[in-house]
């Protein structure tokens, strides 16, 4: 008898209930904006956990629920500044990438997972005081600088800021170009930026007004000549670097030739480096085991 009642209740529940509500993800945040820049690049904004505090330039783990029911997480630089009410991210679309093959389809109202434990070396605290600050980025390595360019501390601490961003093609520079253009109208930092920012975007595989690798433009002195700046000097210059492993390795060597030394949170020096991603397209190692924070 009891079994019959249970069966009836179960049947009623199934028939009468509407479609099950969308399950809430652990550490869920809601997507508020998505912009596609190219077929390989997009940016998006999400709600910010009330308790999340971070330093402009840091990264967090974000992702989606995987097919196995476990979160599929990847490291992402927060592209918005520490004072922003929302969080912004700038992302690659890897066609077969476990996360971004799905993440690229998110829409406003969807949920993503965000582990609220920010870390990273591209922070002001990791540099000794100086008068000129160089941001050196390739590809999505622009993301932490999208945060730092909108951070008042950047403009309070430095008399000049040089943003060098290099991509293969012109369209890949668009997110950065729009962001840099928006700075002068920013009510918080617009006046602080005036006369201090040098923007130096270059391409390497498509013709554009300025071309060449960051390493080559520093080594040849072209960037100093083009901008009317003195060469790098360890007394005055500080740098933050974010790109592929090969780029980071080569820029580090160039900066060291200018006499700058690599620092860290625990030991501030003249420059700091962060990976924009791991791998060269061949490696399929599950880096979330390495970068879980
Ligand atoms: P994965 O399996 O993670 O990657 C597959 C392959 O795609 C990699 O082997 C690599 O060759 C290539 N690849 C991965 N990411 C990139 C990239 N950003 N640019 C070019 N090629 C790439 N990615 C972002 O898009 N934006 C960020 O702000 C960002 N911040 C990061 C910060 C840190 C500290 C680290 C370590 C990585 C960061 N990444 C960022 C890379 C990110 O963690 C993922 O690798 C990326 O989202 C792709 O995930 P996936 O699962 O689709 O593919
Ligand atoms: P290049 O086109 O000459 O390889 P990628 O898409 O491969 O990550 O490259 C992004 C940008 O970074 C490209 O403009 C690329 O130039 C440049 N780049 C790649 N590797 C290096 C490196 N080791 N040193 C300097 N620039 C690099």
pTM of the model: 0.91
* Whether residue 7 has pLDDT greater than 60: no
Nearest to 144 by CA among 193, 181, 179, 186: 179
Say which ligand is closest to the CA of 168. Answer: 2
Q: What does the pLDDT look like over 213-250, one tens digit per residue?
A: 999 999 999 999 999 999 999 999 999 999 999 999 99
Between the CA of 287 and the centroid of ligand 1 the distance, in Å, is 9
Pocket of ligand 1 (CB under 6 A): 59, 74-77, 90-92, 94, 97-101, 139-140, 143, 274-281, 283, 287, 291
Q: What does the pLDDT look like over 64-99, one tens digit per residue?
A: 999 888 999 999 999 999 999 999 999 999 999 999
Nearest CA to ligand 2 atom 22: 247
Q: What does the pLDDT look like over 114-155, one tens digit per residue?
A: 999 999 999 999 999 999 999 999 999 999 999 999 999 999
Could you tell me if 77 and 71 are in contact, meaning their C-beta atoms sit under 8 angstroms apart?
no
Could you tell me if 58 and 50 are in contact, meaning their C-beta atoms sit under 8 angstroms apart?
no
Nearest CA to ligand 1 atom 13: 277
Between the CA of 276 and the centroid of ligand 1 the distance, in Å, is 7
Residue 117 CB-density burial (10 A; 0-12 exposed, 13-18 middle, 19+ buried): middle
pLDDT of 24 reads: 65
Number of Cβ within 10 Å of residue 11's Cβ equals 10
Cβ of 214 less than 6 Å from ligand 2 = yes
Number of Cβ within 10 Å of residue 167's Cβ equals 26
Q: What does the pLDDT look like over 248-289, one tens digit per residue?
A: 999 999 999 999 999 999 999 999 999 999 976 333 333 333
Q: What does the pLDDT look like over 191-220, one tens digit per residue?
A: 999 999 999 999 999 999 999 999 999 999
Please report which residue ranges of the chain form alpha helices under DSSP H: 2-16, 100-103, 143-148, 152-157, 174-183, 190-193, 214-219, 222-227, 245-257, 288-291
């Amino acid at each position: 008898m009891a079994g019959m009642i249970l069966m009836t209740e179960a049947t009623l529940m199934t028939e009468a209930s509407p479609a099950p509500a969308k399950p809430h993800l652990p550490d869920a945040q809601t997507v508020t904006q998505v912009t596609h820049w190219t077929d390989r690049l997009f940016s998006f904004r999400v709600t910010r956990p009330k308790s999340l505090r971070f330093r402009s330039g840091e990264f967090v783990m974000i992702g989606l629920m995987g097919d196995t029911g476990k979160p599929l997480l990847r490291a992402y630089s927060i592209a918005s500044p520490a004072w922003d009410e929302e969080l912004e991210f700038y992302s690659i679309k890897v066609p077969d990438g476990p996360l971004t093959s799905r993440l690229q389809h998110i829409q406003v109202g969807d949920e993503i997972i965000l582990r609220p434990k920010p870390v990273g070396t591209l922070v002001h605290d990791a540099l000794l005081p100086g008068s000129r600050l160089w941001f050196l980025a390739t590809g999505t390595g622009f993301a932490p600088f999208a945060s730092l360019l909108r951070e008042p501390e950047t403009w309070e601490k430095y008399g000049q800021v040089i943003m060098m961003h290099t991509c293969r093609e012109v369209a890949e520079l668009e997110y950065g170009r729009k962001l840099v253009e928006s700075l002068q109208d920013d009510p918080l930092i617009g006046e602080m930026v005036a006369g201090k920012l040098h923007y130096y975007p270059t391409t390497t595989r498509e013709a554009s007004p300025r071309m060449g690798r960051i390493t080559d433009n520093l080594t040849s002195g072209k960037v100093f000549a083009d901008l009317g700046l003195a060469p790098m000097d360890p007394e005055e210059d500080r740098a933050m670097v974010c790109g592929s492993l090969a780029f980071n390795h080569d820029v580090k060597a160039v900066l060291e030739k200018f006499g700058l030394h690599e620092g860290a949170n625990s030991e501030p020096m003249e420059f700091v480096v962060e990976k924009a991603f791991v791998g060269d397209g061949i490696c399929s190692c599950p880096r979330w085991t390495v970068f879980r924070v």
